[in-house]
Structure 1
């Protein structure tokens, strides 16, 4: 019996709370997981897991053994990482989970360069707006928005984005460039839906104690940031979107930022990793690369304060 592998399987079953979910995360058959745990129990001469059709819990010996397994596996990962770092070689598969819009518009365009820097690395990016547990899904690092309340995750602020109003130069030639939020005509403003709603979110602007809100009443509203930006690029109207999605387009002159001196509300993007796991060099390399790339793209207009300082999302 490969004791180290058996410990890995046993630990994953406990972390996932299920034999089947552990098998899925390890990409092996359910029967293999069951047999591995049974062989480990036979070898130790104790019952590690008390299980029935509905519940799975650690026995007292299982609880003690699990703690030792977690620490031992962490030490093994650290030892492997130390050797790899000394050789300067980052390899293996990096599994990333991201909200669809952020993954498509921000992460995906950077992956080619990241992989060129680490040619022995394989990167798998999963785009979803319905995040799963990192351990259960076998994810190394995920992107979360606004807050991370899970005690089993370690969160690191990756980027603080603020909303910007913008439009194409050609649309501005036709509709005009507003110098004050009240000059934005609601009938020409395209909206982004709030969650589980067909009602567009309100646009908000603040400057020196003055506050203005606008409800978009234009001809098009979406629940997709990508679709909203494409509509703006087709000269359909003004949009109000997080800067991280339009920084490049603004830098290229395809969109023009409006009212840069006004503060807007914002959202924080976090990178998160499992608390119980050693953060592998490949994961650290990706997080550091993303922070460096986003810092290079960051555009903080004069007078703009990240909206989270206002205590609103």
Structure 2
């Protein structure tokens, strides 16, 4: 039995809910479809479909088998396209996920250029901080911040995240400007908490090449990076967020950088994707494009100085899986 053909026939039966329509779309006799499904069930020693004169339904085993078949057949299509399309421009559907603020402020304004270069790529861009399993969710590529340790994923560094510690001028007039890290104990913050675990982010500073973590006091917490900065703009306290988001407010004077001699450690920004996507021309095109985009952005580009300082994110062991797959616990950027 040709198992790949059997999987294709079975998947088409599930999708069309009809042996007759399956035969028509695959250009084969209806009896051949029946024989292939019966042979597949005998090969697997399980019933995949419940058939009556009026309905066609999946069994529990059939449902599980169909999900696996769909992924395998999609992988086969990807592999074939990766070789057939070598001399053609990248094309097809591409699903990408990334932190919301990074997507809205940096990527979205440049997408016209991406579409101009790759008009045949049908891009679906997901923005948010929800931790997602790339394989289970069918995501081709994700942009994540922080240390990535999941060996089932391929990772390529495409940029560097730089943080900054800021507060509003009014807050500093009322509470005073801290001159040392120890003085932060006398100040408050608008806390940032991670949506997946609910854990509150600590401030981190590089001191003599080592990372110092400081837990700040605050009675309000948000899990959105833009709301986090808005809180600082409205005098709710000191925050530590992405420099690329804070820069317009720093330039206008709406926010003031403090403790600049002790900066947060830079974190790697990576494009990650399942091993079976590394041959996809569309994935390669997107990763190369976004690496160039970040390289041309001074606040996200990798330099010898940031590379020397760039280290793994300070993550509790219980949060490691979230960072491996999503990176949403490395920085307030969703």
TM category (shorter chain) comes to 0.5 to 0.7
> TM-score with structure 2 length normalisation?
0.63
CA contact 2:146–2:267 (8 Å) conserved in 1: yes
The Cα of 1:237 is off from its aligned counterpart by 2.7
Q: Is the 8 A contact 1:171 1:236 kept in 2?
A: yes
Moved more, 44-53 or 220-229: 44-53
Distance, in Å, in 2 between the alignment partners of 1:273 and 1:198 is: 26
Deviation of 1:288 (Å): 1.6
Greater displacement, 212-221 / 269-278: 212-221
CA distance in 2, matches of 1:194, 1:175: 27
Q: Provide the residue aligned with 1:240 in structure 2.
A: 240
What is the CA RMSD across the aligned residues, in angstroms? 4.7
Question: Match for residue 208 of structure 2?
Answer: 208
Which structure 1 residue ranges, 5 or more long, are not aligned?
14-18, 59-64
**Could you say which residue in structure 2 is the equivalent of 1:154?**
154
When residues 69 and 231 of structure 1 are mapped into structure 2, their CA distance, relative to the original with a 3 A threshold, is: closer
Matched, 1:42 2:14: no
CA distance in 2, matches of 1:245, 1:235: 17
1:181-220 correspondence runs (5 A): 181-184=181-184, 186-194=186-194, 200-208=200-208, 213-218=213-218, 220=220
| Contact 1:143 1:270 (8 Å CA) reproduced | yes
Tell me, in whole angstroms, the C-alpha distance in 2 between the residues paired with 1:121 and 1:253. Answer: 41
For residues 1-313 of structure 1, the aligned pairs below 5 Å read 28=15, 39=33, 42=36, 49-51=44-46, 53-55=59-61, 73=77, 75-85=79-89, 90-168=90-168, 172=172, 177-184=177-184, 186-194=186-194, 200-208=200-208, 213-218=213-218, 220-243=220-243, 245-246=245-246, 250=250, 255-265=255-265, 267-277=267-277, 279-299=279-299, 305-308=309-312
Give yes or no for contact 2:146–2:312 (8 Å, CA) kept in 1. Answer: no
The 8 Å contact of residues 184 and 216 in structure 2, kept in 1 or not, is answered as no
Deviations 1:218-254 (Å, cap 9, x if unpaired)?
4532122221012123343321124454456556765
2:187–2:238 CA contact under 8 A, matched in 1:
no
* Count of residue correspondences: 287
Q: Distance in 1 between matches of 2:315 and 2:219?
A: 31
SS at match of 1:260: coil
- Structure-1-length-normalised TM-score: 0.66
Residues 95-138 of structure 1 deviation map (CA, whole Å, 9 limit, x = unaligned): 21234454444433432443344344432112344444445444
Unaligned runs of 5+ in 2: 27-31, 48-58, 317-329
Secondary structure of residue in 2 paired with 1:282: helix
Cα separation, 1, equivalents of 2:104 and 2:184:
29
> 2:78·2:279 contact (CA, 8 Å) conserved in 1?
no
After TM superposition, give the deviation of residue 165 of structure 1 in Å: 0.7
8 A Cα contact 2:82 2:281, kept in partner: no
Query: For residues 71 and 221 of structure 1, what CA distance do their matches in structure 2 show?
Result: 42
Moved more, 153-162 or 98-107: 98-107
Partner of 1:62: none
- Greater relative contact order, per chain length (Cα 8 Å cut-off, separation 6+): 2
